[in-house]
Chain A
């Protein structure tokens, strides 16, 4: 089982993850149409690029936009969640040792205690996001089962990972479950809301171009996101 999960299944899930995301991106771009969308994407390139970059940049900055600033608590949760979700698996020592062993390369790594902190942060952020979903009537109404499922899928590798790391009960069991959860997450990303992994950038760039080329970008200083 261990061999299977760290071998073929890892290959398959990474393959689906990368190919799926590339497919989504290509599908997105191919679906754009200058006349239907009413954005002259290929004209006024400098305005388009500027609009797209501004639109991505300000939204990737913590508290960089009016909307982030208006919702400080939520913004805090979203940013620490995403930092934890991305940094922990990529820079974890264990993962990089495995990477080196299997695929012959690795990234630099973070200490175990940093990884522990990040893991707890991810779990805590998700708990608070779930509470927020329940507490706020305007969020509760629009929440559906998928939203909880996404949060669950995202947090599962972290919970199982830390249980394995501290060898709570059966180490082998948690380890395999951890890897399975991670692989499920990778496979799910291209096919679910989690496709915002790339579509966030695509959508932000598109609206940025819309504002940059058509909706005032060529007249004013550019939209103050």
Chain B
């Protein structure tokens, strides 16, 4: 059987395909079919030729096997310094071999590559910062995922994720109606406490177009209400688009370039339609990376910049605190020791380390840095889509140990984690290792700390 019914080289563009995949609980049949999936060597060779050019070839060739990248990788450390977890080894054993064999590889090899690309690398890009030659193994693994995807070797959840983006322009099955209804529902739900609260949909020429992670409308709608409260308190003229509201990209994790393009273009279209001054992305790391940092390239924008200036939520918060749009009640600042999870996606790969510190300066009395921190921080352990992949749960859980120990060393019991993936990983690490910590996005913390203007006081306080 060269192509499976569920596991194949086709992309998921129809709802029936997606439903069939979803019905296969845990991907049992999907992975079984994967064992029989043929490798299209001709196509693979062509893909390699397109993707692996002088930059990657140079990286693979000049690597002096010095091993400096070893300790930079949290997997190496978490797996008791297993030499097989050295970034250089991991990439040479996969992409390096694939290239040497010019794509002449079998099914077992492709599965090994998939297992490495997803369970031994979260594409956190830390190792690239530690290599004298600037060899960015995490980046190569991200492209490796694309090569694997083109041959149908993708974890089940990733394949589903790409289908979601292709069909719903969101990582989950949230339709335009669901989204708009959720906005209305949340505004109503919170209106009693926050008189006049609104979530304005499709307003043109607003100062801010706010965009989210589909998990928010789907599972944590209160996050949306909290965003509305903070925008309202800050007096912002803001809106959300009815379409093009989703920032995340499981397609990026999966390596489905075409779906990445479709997804970001839906957001850029919303910018064209609504002509906001700026866009603000919710507290999500990879969403910001996908739509603001990488997105313009998928969409073919030569300047490498999104159509309108786009900022991460932490940038908006820092600005609002700096300009006094949001004022913290000094008596409500966080008194206990608190630490901050630097997301690879907007700190190391987005340059927002200082912005995060600025916020902590306003809201915390006893801020404790993790060691290492900022652009040198370790991945939380759940990056690159790993949190969501059942097949690699065990490997993920081992990787979480590094973050656990980093948090423990700070002595803080509260972790501020303005990134959905990091937030999940920290939640899971508490569940598994029970170290007695709490974790939070910024929004609920801010709401508990800000001065609320008279006209907008929750009614029970009036």
Q: Once the chains bind, are A141 and B83 in contact (CB under 8 Å)?
A: yes
Number of interface residues of B (CB under 8 A): 57
B311 smallest CB distance to A (angstroms):
9
Q: Once the chains bind, are A208 and B134 in contact (CB under 8 Å)?
A: yes
A148 smallest CB distance to B (angstroms):
10
CB contacts (< 8 Å) of B134 on chain A: these are 55, 59, 203-204, 206-208
Whether, in the assembled complex, B354 has its beta carbon less than 8 Å from a beta carbon of chain A, the answer is: yes
Whether, in the assembled complex, A170 has its beta carbon less than 8 Å from a beta carbon of chain B, the answer is: no
Q: Once the chains bind, are B302 and A139 in contact (CB under 8 Å)?
A: no
The residue among A67, A70, A200 with the most chain B CB atoms within 10 A of its own CB is A67
CA distance A147 to B353 in the complex (A): 38
User: B133 contacts which of A38, A66, A136, A200 (Cβ < 8 Å)?
Assistant: A200
User: A70 contacts which of B50, B71, B89 (Cβ < 8 Å)?
Assistant: B71
CA distance A223 to B347 in the complex (A): 10
Q: Once the chains bind, are A147 and B302 in contact (CB under 8 Å)?
A: no
* Complex: chain A residue closest to B64, CB-CB: A193
Whether, in the assembled complex, B130 has its beta carbon less than 8 Å from a beta carbon of chain A, the answer is: yes
Q: Once the chains bind, are A37 and B83 in contact (CB under 8 Å)?
A: no
CB contacts (< 8 Å) of B50 on chain A: these are 36
CB contacts (< 8 Å) of A106 on chain B: these are none
Binding site secondary structure of chain B: helix
Given A203-B59, A221-B354, answer yes or no on A31-B349 (Cβ-Cβ < 8 Å): no
B354 smallest CB distance to A (angstroms):
6
CA distance A30 to B53 in the complex (A): 9
Whether, in the assembled complex, A163 has its beta carbon less than 8 Å from a beta carbon of chain B, the answer is: no
Q: Once the chains bind, are B64 and A196 in contact (CB under 8 Å)?
A: yes
Whether, in the assembled complex, B54 has its beta carbon less than 8 Å from a beta carbon of chain A, the answer is: yes
Comparing B218-226, B293-301, B431-439, the segment that makes contact with chain A is B293-301
CA distance A66 to B350 in the complex (A): 19
* CB within 8 Å of B: which A171-199 residues: 193, 195-196, 199
Whether, in the assembled complex, B15 has its beta carbon less than 8 Å from a beta carbon of chain A, the answer is: no
- How does the 8 Å CB contact mask read for A31-67 relative to B, with 1 for contact and 0 for none? 1111111111001100000000001000100000011
Q: Once the chains bind, are A215 and B76 in contact (CB under 8 Å)?
A: no
* Complex: chain B residue closest to A150, CB-CB: B64
CA distance A31 to B54 in the complex (A): 5
Whether, in the assembled complex, B283 has its beta carbon less than 8 Å from a beta carbon of chain A, the answer is: no
* CB within 8 Å of A: which B83-113 residues: 83-84, 86, 88-89, 92
**Which size class do A's interface residues fall under?**
35 or more
Whether, in the assembled complex, B57 has its beta carbon less than 8 Å from a beta carbon of chain A, the answer is: yes
CB contacts (< 8 Å) of B51 on chain A: these are 36
- How does the 8 Å CB contact mask read for B55-98 relative to A, with 1 for contact and 0 for none? 10111011111111011100010000101101011001000000
Given A67-B130, A203-B133, answer yes or no on A215-B349 (Cβ-Cβ < 8 Å): yes
Given A215-B348, A220-B352, answer yes or no on A139-B72 (Cβ-Cβ < 8 Å): no
Q: Once the chains bind, are A203 and B58 in contact (CB under 8 Å)?
A: yes
- Can you report 13 A-B residue pairs in the complex whose CB atoms are below 8 A from each other? A36-B51, A37-B55, A44-B304, A74-B68, A136-B67, A138-B86, A193-B61, A202-B58, A203-B58, A210-B136, A216-B349, A219-B352, A223-B351
Q: Which 7 pairs between the two chains have the least Cβ-Cβ distance?
A: A216-B351, A31-B54, A220-B351, A40-B304, A207-B134, A141-B83, A38-B297
A interface with B by C-beta (< 8 Å):
27-40, 43-44, 55, 59, 66-68, 70-71, 74, 78, 133, 136-144, 147, 150, 193, 195-196, 199-200, 202-204, 206-208, 210, 213-225
Given contacts A33-B53, A139-B70, 18 further A-B contacts (CB under 8 A): A28-B58, A31-B53, A38-B297, A43-B303, A67-B68, A67-B130, A71-B68, A137-B83, A142-B89, A193-B63, A196-B64, A200-B133, A206-B134, A207-B128, A208-B134, A216-B350, A218-B351, A220-B354
